[in-house]
């Protein structure tokens, strides 16, 4: 009996004392802080290497993208994945196609940009579709009004209803390291055609931030962004 009593006392001694409300509160706060640190670290990793959010302020890409759409761009293109004709790309406004910013970003906007929910508030970006890759000869227009790439006419189903492929005639050969871009709403897009006075209207591949892959908001427009590979399937390689 004595031995059993000693065992009971020993077991009782191993039970930790009850924790008070201050300990329980600290444990809760500590867990929340750990979760926040992990979430911020993952967000920074994602926005640095994988995806980043952007906002569509204009109708230059209608109806593929509409005003106030939120999109995610795949930052691994260009990179491990290569760009192709038809890709919708986000690129920095390195050659001042847009007017200067009139307002500075707020502290909240800077914070959301830092974690990758918003793009950098002190930089401007444009979203257009790639029509010509390096070496391509892009011309407008053929007798029926269509664009030609390396001599092959293309039919563009993504163009805004009622727009022609282009009201501006052009005949360009895309230099190495650059692309020729156009908006889907051809009548409302100040794209490569409108900036031939700045390095021929071409966009540096180094300026491309990523390929627009997903519409995330509003929810009724949630879905992937079509690159319309079929449009360019018969275009021959650049000579």
CA nearest neighbour of 91 among 156, 158, 170, 179: 179
Confidence of residue 88 (pLDDT cuts 50, 70, 90): very high
The residues annotated with a catalytic role in the active site are: 60, 128
Do 225 and 74 touch, CB atoms closer than 8 A? no
DSSP letter string, 35-63:
HHHHHHHHHHHHHHHTEEEEE--SSTTTT
Is residue 90 within 8 A of residue 54, CB to CB? The reply is: yes
Q: What is the DSSP letter of 238?
A: P
Average pLDDT over residues 233-238: 94
Q: 227 with 87: CB under 8 angstroms?
A: yes
Q: What is the pLDDT of residues 45-85, one digit of tens each?
A: 555 557 788 889 999 999 999 999 999 998 887 766 789 99
Q: pLDDT per residue over 152-180, tens digit each?
A: 999 999 999 999 999 999 999 999 999 99
Taking a C-beta distance cutoff of 8 angstroms, is the pair 133, 114 a contact? no
100-105 long-range Cβ contacts below 8 angstroms, 24+ apart: none
Q: Mean pLDDT over residues 103-110, rounded?
A: 66
Nearest to 50 by CA among 33, 81, 74: 74
Q: What does the pLDDT average to over 133-137?
A: 97
pLDDT band at 122 (very low <50, low <70, confident <90, very high): low
Q: How far apart are CA 90 and CA 184, in angstroms?
A: 14
Asked if residue 188 has pLDDT above 90, the reply is: yes
Tokens of 205: 């591949």
Phi first, then psi, for residue 196 (nearest 5°) are -65, -15
């Amino acid at each position: 009996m004595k031995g059993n009593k000693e065992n009971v006392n020993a077991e009782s001694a191993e039970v930790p004392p009850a924790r008070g409300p201050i300990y329980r509160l600290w444990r809760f706060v500590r867990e929340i802080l750990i979760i926040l640190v992990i979430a911020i670290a993952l967000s920074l990793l994602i926005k640095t290497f994988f995806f980043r959010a952007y906002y569509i302020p204009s109708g230059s890409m209608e109806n593929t993208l509409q005003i106030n759409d939120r999109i995610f761009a795949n930052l691994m293109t260009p990179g491990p994945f290569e760009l192709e004709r038809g890709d919708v790309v986000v690129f920095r406004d390195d050659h001042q196609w847009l007017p200067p910013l009139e307002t500075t970003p707020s502290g909240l906007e800077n914070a959301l940009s830092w974690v990758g929910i918003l793009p950098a508030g002190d930089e401007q970006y444009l979203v257009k579709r790639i029509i010509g890759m390096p070496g391509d000869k892009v011309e407008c227009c053929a007798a029926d009004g269509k664009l030609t790439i390396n001599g092959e006419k293309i039919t563009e189903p993504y163009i805004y209803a009622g727009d022609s492929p282009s009201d501006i005639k052009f005949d360009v050969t895309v230099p190495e390291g650059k692309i020729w871009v156009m908006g889907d709403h051809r009548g409302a897009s100040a794209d490569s055609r409108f900036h031939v006075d700045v390095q021929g209207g071409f966009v540096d591949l180094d300026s491309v931030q990523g390929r627009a892959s997903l519409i995330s908001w509003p929810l009724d427009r949630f879905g992937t962004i079509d690159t319309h590979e079929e449009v360019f399937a018969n275009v021959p390689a650049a000579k």
